Amino acid sequence: MTESARGTGRNIAGAEYVSALSTRPSDLRARDAFRARALELVPAGGLIYDFGAGPGLDARYYAEHERRVAAYDIDPEMCRYFADYCGELIRAGRISLDQGSYAQFLASARTRGNVDLVTANFAPLNLVSDLPGLFAALAGLTRPDGCVLASVLSPYYVGDLTYRWWWRNLPLLLRRGEFAVPGAQALIWRRRLPAYAAASAPWFTLESAYPGTTHSLGRVSVRGVAAGAPGAWLSLTRSRYMFLLFRKPVR
């Protein structure tokens, strides 16, 4: 969920949320870039699990591009919109939707083990306080060679430097690697690259980080950078989002 869809003090659901996601050109470019990266990682016929799927925009896109899709969202209103928007694809068996509490998702995810790629677009990971617990569940969800591709809010984004909350929390970001600010539905976490790397271990390795600014893979001007590379954050200052690729280590 983007910050443009937050801050009103109420839950934005269904068509209104879709409208909010379709207003800002940078959000549209980020969605296109994220989808392109996801399809590059999974061949036709592969299984994508869309975590925090919202209204189903990405799930439908993946299914229409010859991927099998399973999805999860915690919000009943979003799930109702998803079920309508993707209805014919659900009935055709090309998309499945998991609903229920977050605790129920964690319990069921650990036993699945057949997913090629987990996607999490528009920052659902920024609403999760216990990332190690989530990554442990995603490890159970995915195949031995599975990956996670997540779009997260960048703590390095220069556009946030105009806000007092960013400067107020900068000491926490530097000292602990993360901080949280209140959101309409939950705390919104911002984390540095090393914090994501630590939270995903030992189940995944943070392999690459990309700025979420490019319109398509063919126009990527900044190469993915290893999470531990000196100055990696400098390439992530121009976009509200950064795309993180986590890969299971070879056993």
User: Got the DSSP string for 52-113?
Assistant: T-TTSHHHHHHHHTT-EEEEE-S-HHHHHHHHHHTHHHHHTTSEEEE-S-HHHHHHHHTTT-
Q: Which residues pair with 61 in a beta bridge?
A: none
Count of the separate structural domains present in the chain = 1
Query: What is the rounded CA–CA span in Å between residue 96 and residue 104?
Result: 16
223 CB-near residues (< 8 Å, 6+ apart): none
Is residue 36 a part of any domain in this protein? yes
Query: What is the rounded CA–CA span in Å between residue 121 and residue 250?
Result: 26
Supply the pTM of this predicted model: 0.88
Is residue 98 a part of any domain in this protein? yes
Is residue 8 a part of any domain in this protein? yes
CATH of the domain at 97: 3.40.50.150
Is residue 15 a part of any domain in this protein? yes
**pLDDT digits (tens), the chain, 251 positions:** 333 333 333 445 677 777 777 778 888 889 999 999 999 999 999 999 999 999 999 999 999 999 999 999 999 999 999 999 999 999 999 999 999 999 999 999 988 899 999 999 999 999 999 999 999 999 999 999 999 999 999 999 999 999 999 999 999 999 999 999 999 888 999 999 999 999 999 999 998 888 887 543 333 333 445 555 566 667 778 889 999 999 999 87
CA distances from 222 to 36, 64, 147, 217 (A): 15, 28, 21, 11
Is residue 182 a part of any domain in this protein? no
Is residue 158 a part of any domain in this protein? no
Domain of 142 in residue numbering reads as 3-153+192-247
